[in-house]
Structure 1
Amino acid sequence: MPFEKGQSGNPTGRKPGSKNKSTSQLRDILNSFLSDNFEAVAEAFHSLSARDKVKAYVDLLQYGLPKLQAESSNPFENMTDEQLDEIVNRLKASYEPKRED
């Protein structure tokens, strides 16, 4: 019997924050490979051209450093509705033609 659209065979699903077993296994395999072959990997790295060394280093950095979040450049983001209304009112007032009495 097929599933309804938007409903899986496991409605409770995996718990938030739980690790993916395949990813953990692959990480363990890669760690073992690198540990067992560290000297060969280091030798291969040292035999690269300067350009390829930099590329390899930059490519590997993403796994060792956390990704930086872009800072918000929106100065209005943390303002209250009242503060925003005040700015709008001031802008409107500055563009209204002045009446000469």
Structure 2
Amino acid sequence: MANNTGQKFGGRTKGTANKHSNEIRQKFQSLIEDNLEVLQADLNKLKPFERVKVIIELGKFVMPTLKAIEIQNDDIKPERPKFVFINRRDPKIIDAAEKP
């Protein structure tokens, strides 16, 4: 029978780290640390463009990926465009708001 109560029974509690994920991260970190010299030698053999591309890809494992956010503010009204009229006979500039 399915649990329709909304209560959680068993499993990890909220905020508790997943032990398998932590274990895998530690082993991966150890693998990288033990092979830094080999990785550096392999990177040095690449062309500059390829080297940067690989470093960026590896950086995804170290740095969190940022998510784009969109800010929506309905309170701000766009400014109305201003038009300027120039009379050729009289080179005085007349603002559109002042035009008769």
TM-score normalized by the length of structure 1:
0.56
Q: 1:75 to 1:41 in 2, by over 3 A?
A: same
2:23 and 2:64 mapped to 1: Cα distance?
Answer: 22
Relative CO higher for 1 or 2, CA cutoff 8 Å, sep ≥ 6? 2
Percent identity for Structure 1 against Structure 2 = 23
Root-mean-square deviation (Å): 2.6
Aligned residue among 24, 27, 34 for 1:26: 24
Pairwise CA distance, 1:30: 1.3
Gaps of 5+ in 2: 78-100
Superposition misfits of 4+ residues, deviation over 6 angstroms? none
Q: Decide which structure has the larger Cα Rg and report it.
A: 2
2:61 and 2:38 mapped to 1: Cα distance?
Answer: 20
How many residues are matched? 73
Normalized per residue, the structure richer in strand is: 2
TM-score normalized by the length of structure 2:
0.56
Q: Secondary structure at the match of 1:33?
A: helix
1:93 counterpart residue number: none
1:36 and 1:23 mapped to 2: Cα distance?
Answer: 20
Gaps of 5+ in 1: 80-86, 88-101
* Larger displacement relative to structure 2 (61-70 or 44-53): 61-70
